Structure 1
Amino acid sequence: MIDKLEFLITLSRERHFGHAAESCGVSQPTFSAGIKQLEDTLGVLLVERGSRFRGFTPEGERVLDWARRIVSDTRAMRQEIDALKHGLAGHLRMAAIPTALPIVAMLTTPYQSNHPDVRFTIHSRTSIEVLSMLENLEIDAGLTYLDNEPLGRVQSVPLYTEYYRLLASSEGPLADRESVTWHEVGQMPLCLLTPDMQNRRIIDAQLAEVGAEVEPRLESDSVIVLIAHVRTGKWTSVMPSRLAEVLGVTKNVRAIPIVDPVVTHSIGLVVPHRNPLTPLISALVAEAKQLAPVLEGIAAIKSPPESADA
């Protein structure tokens, strides 16, 4: 039964029978037969029939909700039994929005020191993808914004408050400025993340609020691409303060606080809404709770002034 429920979860993620079968490591006939067996066992149709996947029936949606709970509980039970027998070990899968990636090492490094038999896989994803992967049991935890879009059924641990910086040439027209306004940012030759990124949506909304048109000269889903362009001295970008400090600031690049207004958002860890948590996730939450006051202390020290000296 558990393997058939996992088939259903995979189908909800892939939205395609062939891709779902491949993801599960079985042939498409075996996969389709597994779904049919599940329908026969439950006595209801779960999938809208057609030449291609068309969605789930209302009954299928309810079974999918239960499948996620049952598979999650089964994995948790197995993991807890293994932890009792052998200590904490296994594979922890995480996804983070690109702007929060510098924080991942601050979680995984002390975690691995305390639990050396745990290995990690880290994905860079949009905020929407982080939540979708968490719901479909593709990851165990995520790092994302906590206060800008609905999170759904998750548990969260706030880690730090994010501020925003204009990355610009240290020899450009803003080289001697202690801060810049959002209106001034809108006048700069910007390179920004693509619109599917929540960071970009935050920037767009803020620029629109001050009457500035958002017309970046370059878009990318990679912060490395943006930083490389800024370092040429010909481009500017808007990035969260922590990302700017870790990746962007060099002798040729300044990270200038953006004010009027000072915009902040909460970044944190999200994990499945279940009790008890698996041992691996529980240990990660414990690390996050220890890290949070450290990060907030750093953020408070480096927070920008409330207004510019323009």
Structure 2
Amino acid sequence: MSTRTNVAVGRPTIRQLEYLVALDAHGHIGRAAAACFVSQPTLSTQIRQLERHLGVTITERVGRGIVVTPAGRELAERARAVLRDTDEMLEWGRSSTDGLGGPLRIAAIPTAAPYLLARMLAVINERHPEVLLCLDELRASALVEALVAAQLDLGLMAEPEAHDDLAHTIILEDPLLLAMAPQHRLARQPSVAIDDLAGETVLLLEDGHCLRCQVLKVCRSVGAREVSKGGTSLATICQMVAAGMGVTLLPTSAAPIEARRGTGIVVRPFSDVTAKRQLALVWRRRSPAAPLYRELAELIAARLADANSGSAPSPASSKPDVGDATAAG
């Protein structure tokens, strides 16, 4: 069956292209409409108008539902490219002076957002007071997809891999600390070695967190017993540590909150300097605001370095008590 239809005069609207992309992503009229904050009839009507504009059948009915045709999927990919170019045009307009203006969409991974985002935003507001900050929290894979699709302007993530469409600047070296209950055998030491984890039960975040992968590498190098118990956040994992269910590796940036005095957790630095992660600010390489984003990343890195310069973990006492929480910021 041919997918060609009669072509109507005129061009498709940006909104129609957004509806097409949503329909392709969700594969369901109702879910696509909800994602676009419109009614199902509105989205269906606009898709039909788009079909007439383009002369291509975008959907076909199968049973009681609809599916996107192969031609529709090809059009959705082209629509994504158009929307990316449109967003970049808007970015160019907002960044064509010395400062950013308008909405600035930022997302951070869950193991960094609660601990670093506020400090980042202070620098952004100081350098670009006209921006309207729009914040989100996404796991690394979703964050990268959103950046590439121009749904985000900036992302904060750990250990970014090389990507043709993305650029990044490292803003923080974030050493990992061993977090444990104060009664733990290693809590009496001022620092610990990676080999000290041998035989320990190390609690992990659930699948999908990049920190989980980093901790797994450390555990498997020394034969530690890694355990996943459904920890959805560092806060949850730390509560499990305080309950004596095991130990965990905690980023230094998270320690002032998760291992503060009174939490029932102590932290000790590793003598092995390789036990760390790198946090980076990431953006689209083609973005017209890329030079401003790089400048921001360098300013944030300098500010974080200044804040951390005098806050290295202090030595542990020989007899730590329940309230002892040696942490670095």
- TM-score band by shorter chain is 0.7 to 0.9
Residue identity over aligned pairs, in percent, reads: 26
Whether contact under 8 Å (2:165, 2:286) holds in the other structure is: no
CA RMSD of aligned residues (A): 3.5
Number of paired residues? 297
Whether contact under 8 Å (2:167, 2:284) holds in the other structure is: yes
Q: TM-score, normalised by structure 2?
A: 0.74
Q: 1:153 aligns with which of 146, 165, 184?
A: 165
Cα distance in 1 for partners of 2:27, 2:255 equals 37
Cα distance in 2 for partners of 1:299, 1:198 equals 26
Residues 28-107 of structure 1 mapped to structure 2, 5 A cutoff: 28-46=40-58, 50=62, 51-52=64-65, 57=70, 59-78=71-90, 80-81=92-93, 88-101=100-113, 102-107=115-120
Q: Secondary structure of 1:180's match?
A: coil
Higher relative contact order, structure no. (Cα contacts within 8 Å, ≥ 6 residues apart): 1
Encode CA deviations 1:52-93: one digit per residue, 9 max, x unaligned: 465662x555543432332233234345546779x8543322
Could you tell me which residue of structure 1 aligns to residue 252 of structure 2?
A: 241
Is residue 2:211 matched to residue 1:199? yes
Could you tell me which residue of structure 2 aligns to residue 144 of structure 1?
A: 157
Residues 1-310 of structure 1 mapped to structure 2, 5 A cutoff: 1-46=13-58, 50=62, 51-52=64-65, 57=70, 59-78=71-90, 80-81=92-93, 88-101=100-113, 102-147=115-160, 149=161, 151=163, 153-185=165-197, 187-216=199-228, 218-232=229-243, 235-250=246-261, 252-258=264-270, 262-277=274-289, 283-295=292-304, 298=308, 302=312
Cα distance in 2 for partners of 1:55, 1:250 equals 55
Q: Secondary structure of 2:111's match?
A: helix
Higher helix share: 1
Whether contact under 8 Å (2:192, 2:270) holds in the other structure is: yes
Whether contact under 8 Å (2:182, 2:266) holds in the other structure is: yes
Could you tell me which residue of structure 1 aligns to residue 3 of structure 2?
A: none
Cα distance in 1 for partners of 2:209, 2:69 equals 28
Q: Secondary structure of 1:155's match?
A: strand
Find the structure with the greater CA-based Rg.
Answer: 2
Shift of 1:6: 1.2
Gaps of 5+ in 1: 304-310
- 1:180/1:63 Cα in 2 relative to 1: closer, same or farther (>3 Å)? farther
Cα distance in 2 for partners of 1:42, 1:200 equals 46
Whether contact under 8 Å (1:161, 1:296) holds in the other structure is: no
Encode CA deviations 1:151-176: one digit per residue, 9 max, x unaligned: 56222222123321111133431122
Instruction: Choose 156-165 or 72-81, whichever is displaced more.
Output: 72-81
Whether contact under 8 Å (2:204, 2:227) holds in the other structure is: no
Cα distance in 1 for partners of 2:203, 2:29 equals 39
- 1:236/1:210 Cα in 2 relative to 1: closer, same or farther (>3 Å)? closer
Encode CA deviations 1:256-290: one digit per residue, 9 max, x unaligned: 2245682343321122232413xxx7644422122
Opposite residue 230 of structure 1, the aligned amino acid is V
Q: TM-score, normalised by structure 1?
A: 0.78
Cα distance in 1 for partners of 2:128, 2:47 equals 38
Q: Secondary structure of 1:112's match?
A: helix
